[in-house]
A = this chain, B = another copy of it.
């Protein structure tokens, strides 16, 4: 169990990812290059960032005891049998020469069979999938996978980061409310238990920290949050804050601090990768939309500033558009108003790369969850909100979305865990 591990890192750390697609393979390739000094780990706060203490900047790497890149071992599950090398080729994110430089590390990663059910991700169909009579059996198989991986690869510890697809929206119901009901649901193959919940159960049950990079509710259900808290397993979610939402949580605090009003915010996204194909299904889109829409509420607070933020028309579109590939693109139209209510407009066109923005978050979350586990911090890690579109809160309250406030919370937590 994680809560018995020593506070200082030692030995190897398994980074286990459900979903070895574009994000996971881009992360592995970059980590592979970075640990050999072939690239800077751009975008990774743990590797490049520092903490400002009264004007003194201390590198995070010096401040806290993080697992070094050299100690990471990569693994995961996927619905296709491809190695990470083949998956990276298919994802078409990285240039040939960059992939080549990471070939060895990528080829070493062979996915374990995934837990998958097409009813929850309708636009994908898997061929490398576990089969078992009950969902509880699937969970136990995952627990076994984790243990086996650690032993096989000589790892002392493991962490998980969900890098898989977005499932259809599942309404929370009674089966999610307490552990007993949930475990009974696993045994009964209850329809309200999606694959991402089975993974979440398996990770927590095996004492392995888990971050959730997708908007799935896997880590959001009360039964599992309580289990994580009770057993001292840190968890964090949900949905990597990357392109458009990242921009929103940068811009909106700027408007708020200057008392600039907002009439509307229209956001459209076009993307052509697997994530886009999955979100072309209305069920999966609904899950994502819920995640993306909430972000303005706590930054532009209509209770405190009714003159400014009472009537915001906030709309989010995501469209599958194959020519774009992994190069997700966002267009935002922002209708602000200033002195005497006069309207102004801001248009933001973000030509981003989904996996390039997400990959360093996988690294940071793996290292920080491992750190938290060694500090016996169980349950929801609110201080990791910095990384998520739809941050979890311990008490279910309104999350902080302001990127700069999130960063302050993260810094404070690191200072509490300093060496």
* B-chain residues with CB within 8 Å of residue A48 when the two chains form the complex: 259, 305, 307-308
Q: Is B331 a contact of A268 with CB atoms below 8 Å? A: yes
Separation of A343 and B357 alpha carbons in the complex (Å): 11
CA distance in complex: A90, B152 (Å): 48
Are A346 and B338 in touch, CB under 8 angstroms? no
| Least Cβ–Cβ distance between A167 and chain B, in angstroms | 24
Chain A 244-288, CB-CB to B under 8 Å as 1, else 0, gives 001100110110011111011010101000000000000000000
The answer to the question of A313 belonging to the interface, with a C-beta cut-off of 8 Å to chain B, is yes
**Measured between alpha carbons, how far is A40 from B270 in the docked complex, in Å?**
28
Would you list which residues of chain A between 297 and 350 have a CB under 8 Å from chain B?
304-305, 307-308, 313, 315, 317, 319, 321-324, 329, 331, 333, 335, 337-350
Q: Report Cα–Cα, A15/B323, bound state, in Å.
A: 36
Do residues A260 and B42 form an inter-chain contact, with CB atoms below 8 A? Answer: yes
On chain B, the residues within 8 Å of A307 by CB distance are 40, 42, 48
CA distance A344 to B349 in the complex (A): 11
Q: Which residues of the other chain, B, contact A94 by a CB distance below 8 angstroms?
A: 340, 342
CB–CB A338/B317 < 8 A:
no
* A353 contacts B by Cβ under 8 Å: yes
Selected contact of A321 from candidates B315, B344, B403, CB within 8 Å: B315
> Does the CB pair A356–B329 fall under 8 Å?
no
Which of A26-34, A73-81, A156-164, A190-198 lies at the binding interface?
Answer: A26-34
The smallest C-beta distance from A333 to any residue of chain B, in angstroms, reads 7
Instruction: Contact check, A407 vs B259: say whether CB atoms are below 8 A apart.
Output: no
Nearest-neighbor residue (CB-CB) of A350 within chain B: B346
Assembly CA distance A247 to B258 (angstroms): 11
Is A266 a contact partner of B319 (Cβ separation < 8 A)?
A: yes
Residues of B close to A49: CB separation below 8 A: 259
B315:A319 contact, CB within 8 angstroms: yes
Which residues in chain A, 343-392, are within 8 Å of chain B measured between CB atoms?
343-353, 355-357, 359-360
A151 close to B (CB within 8 Å) = no
Query: Can you name the residue of chain B whose Cβ is closest to the Cβ of A261?
Result: B42
- Contact check, B259 vs A338: say whether CB atoms are below 8 A apart: no
Name the CB-closest residue of B to A40: B307
**A257–B29 touching, CB < 8 Å:** no
The reply to whether A259 and B43 contact each other, CB–CB distance below 8 Å, is yes
Could you list 27 examples of A-B contacts with CB < 8 Å? Answer: A27-B339, A30-B340, A39-B341, A42-B341, A44-B339, A48-B259, A48-B305, A49-B259, A246-B254, A247-B254, A250-B250, A250-B251, A253-B404, A257-B404, A258-B403, A259-B360, A264-B321, A266-B321, A268-B331, A313-B322, A321-B333, A338-B360, A339-B357, A344-B352, A344-B353, A346-B351, A347-B347
Knowing that A48-B305, A250-B251, A347-B350 touch, tell me 20 more A-B residue pairs with CB under 8 angstroms: A27-B339, A30-B339, A30-B340, A33-B340, A42-B341, A43-B259, A44-B259, A45-B258, A47-B259, A48-B308, A96-B97, A247-B254, A264-B321, A268-B317, A324-B335, A331-B347, A338-B356, A339-B359, A346-B352, A348-B348
Q: What is A's interface to B at a CB cutoff of 8 Å?
A: 26-27, 29-30, 33, 39-45, 47-50, 57, 94, 96-98, 246-247, 250-251, 253-254, 257-261, 263-264, 266, 268, 270, 304-305, 307-308, 313, 315, 317, 319, 321-324, 329, 331, 333, 335, 337-353, 355-357, 359-360, 403-404, 407
